[in-house]
Amino acid sequence: MKLFTKSNYMNPYIAGVGLGLVLLAAFYVSGNGLGASGAMMRTVVIVEKVISQAHVDSNIYLSKYGGGDKNPWDAWLVFQVIGVLVGGIISGIFGGRMKVEINHGPKITKKRRLVFAFLGGGLFGAGARIARGCTSGIVLSGGATLALGSWVTMVCLFIPAFGLAYFFRKNWI
């Protein structure tokens, strides 16, 4: 088994072992799993606090993150995501992938790709808030702890991704 593929990515099984050990280390050190979307939500609340603290206080969901004097960024997850930024850059330099580009299927324009990227992101963000986590917090972390709801959400996430793939094939292949 080679450590790197011809296109300079790490062998997926080895990258998976690395990722699994990082996840295990997170549980071992802090008791937390890995996450991503929670830090994005906290960033949204930071912006909303600047615009209107009263609005954050009056919303039962937003106030959990940033009600009153609460600093939404004062959270384990936020520091972990700052690490993700750095780790991604290190790996990108290492793999020669630090390049300004728009990745899309051969049959669509860059503009169409950006529109769909935005819309897809919006849906993913909405779903992550409703499900209380995303692929990192639910599928990876909840998958490893065998959390019942995480496995339900994992299955539900893959059904439309595979099931609707045919209708979005132009975007990708």
**Least Å distance between CB 77 and another protein?**
7
* Measured CA distances, 144 to 27, 32, 169 (Å): 10, 12, 31
Nearest CA among 128, 131, 110 for reference residue 120: 128
Q: What angle do CA 102, 108, 113 make, to 5 degrees?
A: 45
> Does residue 90 bind another protein (CB under 8 A)?
yes
**Least Å distance between CB 169 and another protein?**
7
Distance CA 112, CA 108 (A): 6
Indicate which single residue of 52, 107, 109, 165 sits in contact with another protein (rule: CB under 8 A): 165
**Least Å distance between CB 53 and another protein?**
15
Map the footprint of another protein across residues 19-78, applying CB under 8 A: 19-37, 40-41, 43-45, 48, 59-62, 76-77
60 Cα distance to chain centroid:
24
Map the footprint of another protein across residues 99-138, applying CB under 8 A: 99-105, 113-138
How many residues touch another protein (CB under 8 A)? 125
